[in-house]
Amino acid sequence: MSDPVDLLLRGARLPDRDDLVDIAIAGERSHIHLDKVLLTDRVTATAGTLEEAIRVTGQAKRGFTVEDITSRARRVLDLAVRAGTTAMRSHVEVDPLVGLTGIEAMLALRAEYAPALDLQLCAFAQEGIVQAPGTEGLLRRALSMGADLVGGCPYNDSDAIEHIRIVFGLATAFGVDADFHVDFSDEPEHLHVREIAAQTVRAGWQGRVAVGHLTELAAVPGFRQDELVAEIAGAGLGVICLPATDLYLMGRQDELNVRRGLTPIKRLLNAGVPVALASNNVRNAFTPVGTADLAHMTFLAALAAHMGTPAELRALLAMITTHPARLLRLADYGLTPGSRADLVVWDCARAEDVAATLPARTLVVKRGRVSVEARHETVDRWRAP
Ligand SMILES: [Zn+2]
């Protein structure tokens, strides 16, 4: 007598094998700023630079309320769940401008969306820590209230090294992971990732630290990239590439051969570094377009990072599934017997079709239950019946 089956998916093709299998169930993910999504009708950004995006969003942030953040974040969470996201990390800004309003709103949404989505909340110092007095205490309170991890943004502070040290102090004091926005420029003017790698090893936090953007890594010569990638791999850092934001904000000073401004994905993957693709921002001054569908990020990265072979297209799928699962340290993740039953049924024949064709998500399964069932019918009426 076999165990009872709640859900049986027949004739499915897994990303890593060619034959069709049945999946018996007896039960994807993202880095995103839910607190500042859907602001394009509220802020005016004309220069399109990172500095302007931070400035105009800081102005808008003074007017945020719990209700406002909740309603904007809910619209984007619904899009993400329908697109097949079953786990997500959201950075939530904590600073003297917005206080703990974002954390308050997002803690309630984490509970509301628990049946569909594991939401990790990263208390995030977007405005700096040293240059924004009071922020460290607010981060501490956010972690006490239930934030899952802590994040910093050393390029936007007056003392980047001290900023990183404070974030690690909080991470180790609360026993939580750390997730930085780092080295977000066209030129290698910061390279703070080296300090983060060193402090990660010093704290014994290998496997618990992620860095987003890291676009400056692409701006040093190849041999130097290899040296830095070795430091990143040695410290067990994960990297999060944010192709929509990075393509939009980088290369703004270039008049000729405008740079793409993406971290060197293939070099990092070849060194064994987990690399995730994430949405980052959805319709605000940092990224004016977006639908919170991670398949779109694979499509963008295929072009912008020159990843077009079948193996590279499958690697892109791993960058929205298994790699981010490692970064979020999700237990029992995968399509193997005994793994937790979180999965997405894509309407396509091969794993590489996800990036190549952006297929529909037929079913989304969370903890063994169907969380989303898509029904969509198109009739080509122009054809003869
Ligand atoms: Zn971000």
Find the radius of gyration of the CA atoms of the chain: 21
Report the alpha-carbon distance of residue 128 to residue 32 in Å, rounded: 19
- pTM equals 0.95
Residue 210: pLDDT band (50, 70, 90) is very high
Q: Are residues 66 and 89 in the same domain?
A: yes
Residue 338 has a pLDDT of 86
Is 46 a domain residue? yes
Q: Are residues 316 and 357 part of one domain?
A: no
Q: What's the rounded mean pLDDT across residues 351-375?
A: 95
Do 282 and 297 share a structural domain? yes
Report whether 95 contacts 87 (CB < 8 A).
no
CB 64 within 8 A of CB 102: yes
- Ligand 1 center to residue 243 CA distance, Å? 11
Burial 186-195 (b: 16+ CB within 10 A, else e): bebebbbbeb
**Residue 344: strand pairing partners:** 364
Measured CA to CA, the distance from residue 177 to residue 168 in angstroms comes to: 9
How far is ligand 1, taken at its centre, from the CA of residue 122, in Å?
Answer: 10
* Residue 203 burial class via C-beta count within 10 angstroms: exposed 0-12, middle 13-18, buried 19 and up: middle
Tell me the C-alpha distance between 298 and 319, whole Å.
8
CA of 153 to the centre of ligand 1 (A): 9
d(CA 11, CA 304): 34
CB atoms within 10 A of CB 16: 13
Q: Which residue has the tokens 């400056």?
A: 216
CA of 257 to the centre of ligand 1 (A): 26
Distance 149 CA to ligand 1 centre (A): 14
Domain that residue 365 falls in: 7-27+337-373
Please check whether residue 220 lies inside any domain of the structure: yes
**Does 130 share its domain with 269?**
yes
Cα 10 to ligand 1 centre (Å): 38
**Are 187 and 239 part of one and the same domain?**
yes
Q: State percent of the chain over pLDDT 70.
A: 98
For range 226-246, the mean pLDDT = 98
- Using CA atoms of 117, 120, 125, 127 in order, give the dihedral in degrees to the nearest 10: -10
pLDDT at 2 over 80: no
Query: Is residue 379 in a domain?
Result: no
In a domain, 332, yes or no: no
Q: How far is the CA of 26 from the centre of ligand 1 (A)?
A: 36
Burial (CB count within 10 angstroms: exposed 0-12, middle 13-18, buried 19+), residue 326: middle
**113 shares a domain with 73:** yes
- Residue 270 CA, ligand 1 centroid: distance in Å: 24
CATH, residue 268: 3.20.20.140
Check if the beta carbon of residue 45 is closer than 8 Å to that of residue 57: no
Q: For residue range 156-192, what is the model confidence (pLDDT) as tens digits?
A: 999 999 999 999 999 999 999 999 999 999 999 999 9
Q: Is position 381 within any domain?
A: no
Tokens standing for 266?
A: 């293939």
The tokens describing 230, both together, are 């070795």
The answer on 349 and 252 residing in a single domain is no
For the chain, how many structural domains are there in total? 2
If asked whether residues 56 and 194 sit together in one domain, one would say yes
Statement to judge: residues 118 and 49 lie in one domain? yes
Task: Kindly state the average pLDDT of the residues 15-26.
Answer: 83
Same domain, 190 and 145: yes
> Using an 8 Å Cβ cutoff, are 143 and 130 in contact?
no
**Alpha carbon distance 222, 138 (integer Å):** 41
Same domain, 347 and 258: no
In a domain, 380, yes or no: no
Q: State residue 24's pLDDT score.
A: 84
User: 117 alpha carbon to ligand 1 midpoint, in Å?
Assistant: 19
Centroid of ligand 1 to alpha carbon of 63 (angstroms): 21
Kindly state the average pLDDT of the residues 216-233. 98
Give me ligand 1 centre to Cα 60, in Å: 17
Q: Does residue 123 belong to any structural domain of this protein?
A: yes
Task: Write out 167-213 in H/E/C secondary structure.
Answer: HHHHHHHHCCCEEEEECCCCCCCCCCHHHHHHHHHHHCCCCCEEEEE
Cα(280) to centroid of ligand 1, in Å? 5
pLDDT of residue 4: 65
Distance in Å, CA 328 to ligand 1 centroid = 15
> Quick one: which H or E segment has residue 362?
strand 361-366
pLDDT of residue 206 exceeding 70: yes
For residue 51, report the distance from its CA to the centre of ligand 1, in Å. 14
What is residue 1's predicted lDDT score, i.e. its pLDDT? 41
Closest to 183 (Cα-Cα) out of 261, 269, 283: 261
Q: Is there a domain that residue 382 lies in?
A: no
C-alpha 347 to ligand 1 mean position (Å): 30
pLDDT tens figures, 146-155: 999 999 999 9
Cα of 242 to ligand 1 centre, how many Å? Answer: 8
Instruction: Kindly give the residue spans of alpha helices, DSSP state H, lying in 62-100.
Output: 66-82
Q: How far is the CA of 164 from the centre of ligand 1 (A)?
A: 16
| Ligand 1 geometric centre to CA of 105 (Å) | 18
Ligand 1 midpoint to CA 346 (Å): 27
Record the tokens describing residue 8, joined without a space.
């049986």
Are residues 161 and 114 part of one domain?
Answer: yes
14 C-alpha vs ligand 1 centroid, how far in Å? 30
Confidence at residue 284, expressed as pLDDT on a 0 to 100 scale:
93
**Ligand 1 mean position to 254 CA, how many Å?**
23
